[in-house]
Amino acid sequence: MPLNNAISLIKLLFVKDKELYVFIHRITGYYPRNINLYKLAMVHRSKPVKLDNGRWANNERLEFLGDAVLDNVVADFLYTSFPGKHEGFLTSTRAKIVQRESLNRIGNSLRLDTHVHALTHSSSHNSYICGNALEALVGAVYLDQGYTRCRKFIIDRLIKKHFDLNDLVKTEQNFKSRLIEWTQKYRITIEFELVDSYSDADKNPVFRTAVILGGIYASDAVGYSKKESHQSASKKALERLQNDQAFCEQVLSTALI
């Protein structure tokens, strides 16, 4: 048994948060050095905790850091895995991996919900709590274990275990890119108009975006980020173009000469 693991097992006999300690090891493959980082990663902003210095805190700072580390590692991994692929392909594939829906699916699969501390109504309303906690967990691993180990965790435990790269490459989920490609093909103007922004009951920012094709309203949708609302509205617009022939013909009639 490696010396570090032996020392970690001895420490386990004396730590207060044994359940979380073992849980983190099962997920990451590493024994936590600073368990407080992981405890904070599981704190949703609806239920902040008071630190020893008297400051109230939640996992949003770790989430911010984890988001940046994820983007970096996934970009590096795809660049190495797909030599010769163009920038558009790499960007689109990375977006599929780091999008909220994917991260939330992984977070649920890892059962992060069993350790996240959040108000009950927030947990039931905000479907992305596990995805946000996963980003915070990545941030905690980065600070606790360093970049090299964090990179290994992301690639081996998140990407390779939860994604089939062959299927991922074949399945196009970037609805906004698909819609833009369609408008370029038929020379149709496209606009994404932010029609509303507000905060929900849990003070999460919500954005409503409308898609305008050839000056004609196509669809609108909400999301917890502008990017998410763009994707959802684009998906609706594509479905309408496919299923509503009269609408599709109306849009095509606006084609630029």
Query: Each residue of 107-126: pLDDT tens digit?
Result: 999 999 999 988 764 544 45
Q: Which residues lie across from 196 on neighbouring strands? A: 208
Round to whole Å and give the CA distance between 235 and 250.
Answer: 19
pLDDT in tens, 65-99: 999 999 999 999 999 998 877 776 787 788 889 98
pLDDT for 146 equals 97
CB 18 within 8 A of CB 12: yes
Asked if the model's pLDDT at residue 3 lies above 90, the reply is no
Q: List, by residue range, all CATH 3.30.160.20 domains of the chain.
A: 175-252
- Rounded to 5 degrees, φ, ψ at 44 are -75, 150
Q: Give span(s): CATH 1.10.1520.10, the chain.
A: 16-170
pLDDT digits (tens, 9 = 90+) for 214-252: 999 999 999 888 888 998 899 999 999 999 999 999 999
Tell me the catalytic residues.
67, 135
**How many alpha carbons lie under 13 Å from residue 48 in its C-beta half-sphere?**
10
pLDDT at 133: 95
CATH of domain 16-170: 1.10.1520.10
Query: Span 130-159, mean pLDDT?
Result: 97
pLDDT digits (tens, 9 = 90+) for 40-68: 999 998 888 887 787 888 999 999 999 99
The CA angle 105-39-142, to the nearest 5 degrees, is: 70
- State percent of the chain over pLDDT 70: 87
Question: Which class is 175-252 in CATH?
Answer: alpha beta
pTM: 0.64
| Res 124: pLDDT | 45
